[in-house]
């Protein structure tokens, strides 16, 4: 099992690879700075917090949201980015350059590296190759997506004022969905959380993940039918079936969109005060008509919070806050 350096209140210079590195206190610190970065962004304030800083955005996998969110976060604070998209097609990687060498090159040009890759563990490999700058995991295959979980947790905290004593529904591709893996780790840091996991049986959490999460004390209830949804969930976290992780189209088609949020479903099983979240992109698993429902936050606060939290995280890791 991977060993990650704990943050323990000291963000400066730390790689951000997994939610396992955080304590509730660390989340409290980042949330309180996020309250401030939110004001900077909302009021279009000139900020020089990251002036002089350059961050490399090294994205081996398709991304528009997370890439845009990091780029905007850095620019909001007066920093600059080096944008490397699809290096496997457009850079020296085509010539056979190793990941380690690519990392060493970009740490010479910049103060931090944000990396997304299709293979689990790549962010950690990158962090090991970097000697001078922190590395931030923006999604490593079916592994983790820690900054997404930070924004998800912040969104939940904003609504309920706590991250303990919550009942949640997480639905979709629990086997391959890295955002789910990081979010469950985050919710496991707090007491008395119960998560209903709704998925087709082919897309349940892996046995390894399930055992790991249960050991951390969180209550997980696996269900395969929407009639077993709890009536009192504080939030629903819907996810896309991760097509790119399937070997062939047929197996994907067999399990895609088994559970679609419709007005009827929300009416029958949703509570009045809950929120409905999704990391995006969605591909049919929440009907567009739901967007108007005040409980649907995925295209509203949840997406905005991504930029605010990344502003706070980058500034903390670069020692600017």
Task: List interacting residues with ligand NCD (CB under 6 A).
Answer: 65-66, 139, 145, 148, 178-179, 239-240, 279-280
Return the number of other C-beta atoms located less than 10 Å from residue 5's C-beta.
14
Residue 240 Cβ vs ligand NCD, minimum distance, rounded to whole Å:
4
- Nearest Cα residue to 149 out of 241, 1, 17, 297: 17
- Give the C-alpha separation, 212 to 214, whole Å: 6
Q: Which is nearer to ligand NCD, 145 or 310 (CB)?
A: 145
Residue 177 Cβ vs ligand NCD, minimum distance, rounded to whole Å:
6
Strand partners, 59: 85, 116
Of the listed 3, 95, 201, 215, which one is catalytic? Answer: 95
β-strand pairing of 167-171 with 54-59: unpaired
Q: Which is nearer to ligand NCD, 4 or 70 (CB)?
A: 70
Q: Which is nearer to ligand NCD, 200 or 279 (CB)?
A: 279
Of the listed 14, 38, 116, 185, which one is catalytic? Answer: 116
Of the listed 6, 48, 65, 268, which one is catalytic? Answer: 65
CB 113 within 8 A of CB 271: no
295 is catalytic: no
Residue 51 Cβ vs ligand NCD, minimum distance, rounded to whole Å:
27
23 is catalytic: no
Of the listed 66, 122, 147, 179, which one is catalytic? Answer: 66
Return the number of other C-beta atoms located less than 10 Å from residue 124's C-beta.
20
167 is catalytic: no
- Give the C-alpha separation, 23 to 232, whole Å: 27
Please give the DSSP secondary-structure letter assigned to residue 207: H
240 is catalytic: no
Residue 112 Cβ vs ligand NCD, minimum distance, rounded to whole Å:
18
**Beta carbons within 8 Å of 157's beta carbon, 6+ residues apart:** 31, 163
Q: Which is nearer to ligand NCD, 125 or 145 (CB)?
A: 145
239 is catalytic: no
Q: Which is nearer to ligand NCD, 178 or 310 (CB)?
A: 178
CB 276 within 8 A of CB 293: yes
Query: Would you please indicate which residues are annotated as catalytic (active-site) residues?
Result: 65-66, 95, 116, 145
């Amino acid at each position: 099992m991977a060993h990650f350096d704990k943050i323990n209140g000291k963000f400066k210079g730390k790689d951000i690879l997994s939610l396992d590195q955080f304590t509730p206190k660390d989340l409290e610190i980042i949330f309180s700075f996020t309250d401030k970065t939110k004001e900077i962004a909302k009021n279009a304030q000139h900020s020089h917090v990251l002036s002089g800083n350059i961050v490399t955005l090294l994205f081996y996998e398709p991304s528009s949201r997370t890439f845009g969110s990091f780029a905007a976060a850095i620019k909001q604070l007066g920093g600059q980015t080096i944008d490397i998209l699809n290096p496997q097609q457009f850079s020296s990687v085509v010539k056979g350059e190793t990941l380690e060498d690519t990392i060493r090159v970009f740490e010479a040009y910049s103060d931090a590296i944000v990396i997304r890759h299709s293979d689990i563990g790549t962010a950690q490999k990158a962090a090991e190759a970097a000697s001078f700058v922190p590395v931030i995991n923006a999604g490593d295959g079916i592994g983790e997506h820690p900054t997404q979980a930070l924004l998800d947790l912040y969104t939940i905290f904003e609504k309920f004022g706590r991250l303990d004593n919550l009942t949640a529904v997480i639905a979709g591709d629990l086997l391959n969905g890295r955002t789910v893996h990081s979010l469950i780790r985050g919710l496991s840091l707090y007491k008395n959380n119960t998560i209903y996991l709704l998925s087709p049986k082919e897309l349940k959490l892996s046995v390894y993940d399930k055992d790991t999460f249960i050991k951390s004390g969180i209550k997980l209830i696996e269900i395969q039918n929407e009639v077993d949804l709890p009536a009192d969930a504080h939030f629903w976290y819907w996810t896309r079936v991760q097509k790119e992780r399937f070997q062939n189209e047929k197996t994907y088609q067999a399990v895609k969109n088994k559970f679609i949020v419709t007005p009827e479903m929300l009416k029958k099983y949703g509570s009045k005060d809950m929120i409905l979240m999704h990391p995006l992109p969605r591909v049919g698993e929440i009907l567009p008509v739901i967007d108007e429902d005040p409980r649907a936050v995925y295209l509203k606060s949840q997406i905005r919070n991504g930029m605010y939290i990344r502003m706070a995280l980058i500034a903390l890791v670069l020692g600017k806050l």
